[in-house]
Structure 1
Amino acid sequence: MRKPCRVLVLTPHAELVRAVADTGLEPWALRRAGPDAGPGGRGGVPPERTLVHPDPVRALRELAADDRSGFDFVLSGEDAEPALLDVLRHLAPPPARTGTWPPTATELRRLLGEDTRPRPGAADGTPVPMCRVDTVSVGGMHLLLDVAWPASAAPVGETLWADVREKVRGALDLIGQESGGMRTSVALTAAGPRPVEMARTPFLVASLGPGTRR
């Protein structure tokens, strides 16, 4: 039986830990040893999957240098220790694309095979309601962190939620998003949800899988 894909989460984002687990990955945490560190895990990670070390920066460097560490990825927001973020920025892959990134609204519509002409509001002149979807991608898997719905869309049913999730993940696949955070604005049109804009968010992801050399 193949071992679960292990992800070391450096920041105590409960929603991030939940999203990692919901995608079938195994969340782990790293915290500093000492009387001020507090008991248990971080962000909902159980204590048995929490690494406790007097120097977390050194621990992360050692994990990155060890092919047999057992960890596949490490990820964090910007609220980790600055020294930990420095190590993670060194490990994170460089941008895979040049030019405009993320794509502009026009470029995104072109990639999705849609009309690139400016879009007016709804047929009656009212603005189309929009929702905002926050994701973080780990090895090409897109973890859903949060959906901010407009007041006009409430209550949101399971069908609409599933459609938005499918469209956002499809758009991320189409643009080749492999790692890091993204915020996607989605128009809730009468014809269904349509991603219309993307923006980077400050989540860093790096590989710690076999063969990593730093």
Structure 2
Amino acid sequence: MMLKPCRVLLLTHDAELLRAVSDAGLEAWTLRRTGADGPSRQHGPVPPERTLTTEDPARTLRDLASGVRAHHGIDFVIGGDDAHPAVLDVLRTLVPGGRTGVRPPDRAELRRLLDEGPAPCPAPADDGAALLCHVDTVTVGGMHLLLDISWPNSPTGFGESERAGVREAVRRVLDLIGHESGGMRTCVALTTTGPRPVDLSGTPFLVASLAPGTTR
């Protein structure tokens, strides 16, 4: 028996988000207004059978959440600031408590982790301090999808082993604070003892669950 993949409806046009969804083995769907010039090229190869075409995208999203229309088996909806304002307003109403679904973190442990700060390391920085990278993620049902790792102070970036360590450090800290849904940017320092998160800030990505039992 073949299991149905988790289906994610994308309301935001972001090629990296589509890649992250696909890399995680999730099934990407899109929403398009009738008469528009087709799905954005940034969505990439999303087949027509996974494109919901409608005269009123906001109403369709509302109906999907309430079960009035065929649910299409969609489990989550992701949107960002580039989504149509009316559709984004509907998505915000589906996010628990109007927020991004973050459970209260273990603040004492998180504060201890972040207060340690970046330690000195032999990385090629003029002041001898640890180099920093910014990691953008979006979390869907507790699954952290990597969008991008940027190295503002390193024109060449780093190798795959360093990137793997950064990815693991970010996923670990997001698990620690109980981050279940939404976008996050994590600043990570490369220290002599390994990557260390030193700051976290939310990003505009919103994720709403359409799974059975969700309060709509």
Cα deviation for residue 39 of structure 1 reads 2.7
- Pick the aligned partner of 2:84 from 64, 81, 85: 81
Q: Distance in 2 between matches of 1:26 and 1:118?
A: 38
Q: Distance in 2 between matches of 1:152 and 1:54?
A: 47
Which whole-Å deviations, capped at 9, do the CAs of 1:130-176 have from their partners, x for residues lacking one? 00000000000000001102443735211111111011001101110
List alignment gaps of at least 5 residues for structure 1. none
* Residue in 2 that maps onto 1:154: 156
* Residue in 2 that maps onto 1:18: 19
After TM superposition, the score normalised by the length of structure 2 is 0.85
Q: Distance in 1 between matches of 2:4 and 2:119?
A: 50
Give the aligned residue type for 1:77: G
Q: Verify the 8 A CA contact 2:118 2:190 in the aligned structure 1.
A: no
The 10-residue stretch of structure 1 (121-130 or 202-211) with the greater mean CA deviation from structure 2: 121-130
Residues 1:102 and 1:7: Cα distance change in structure 2 (over 3 Å): farther
Residues 1:181 and 1:102: Cα distance change in structure 2 (over 3 Å): farther
Give the aligned residue type for 2:56: D
List alignment gaps of at least 5 residues for structure 2. none
* Residue in 1 that maps onto 2:57: 56
The 10-residue stretch of structure 1 (64-73 or 126-135) with the greater mean CA deviation from structure 2: 64-73
Q: Distance in 2 between matches of 1:118 and 1:135?
A: 21
Residues 1:125 and 1:109: Cα distance change in structure 2 (over 3 Å): farther
Give the aligned residue type for 2:11: L
**Superposition RMSD on alpha carbons, in Å?**
2.6
* Equivalent residues, number: 205
* Residue in 2 that maps onto 1:169: 171
DSSP 3-state at the match of 1:72: strand
Q: Distance in 1 between matches of 2:34 and 2:165?
A: 44
Summarize the alignment of residues 115-194 of structure 1 with structure 2, pairs less than 5 Å apart. 116=115, 121-122=120-121, 126-152=128-154, 154-194=156-196
